[in-house]
Amino acid sequence: LVAPVGAGKTQIATTIVERLDRPTIWLAHRQELIEQAAIRLMTHDLHVGVVMAGYPPIHSARVQVASVQTLARRH
């Protein structure tokens, strides 16, 4: 999604993930954005895993929030 700061990109994307009701990967470039997304998704009762250094893997999570850099290194 592309929109100005404060336009609700995280909320819009969270609603899309909820409605998809299927395994989803959410990519971001910065730790702050990854943590923000994971928290928002969890507040919507979604099972979330974070794929980034310092976080234990949660393979059973329906939504994986990942660092682009981590995925590139692990590929």
**Tens digit of each residue's pLDDT (9 = 90 or more) over 6-59:** 999 999 999 999 999 899 999 998 999 999 999 999 999 999 999 988 899 999
What pTM value is reported for the model? 0.86
| DSSP notation for the chain | ----TTS-HHHHHHHHHHHH-S-EEEEESSHHHHHHHHHHHHHTT--EEEESTTS---TT-SEEEEEHHHHHHH-
**Backbone region of residue 72 per phi and psi (left: phi > 0; alpha: psi in -120 to 50; beta: other values):** alpha
d(CA 72, CA 6) in angstroms, rounded, equals: 29
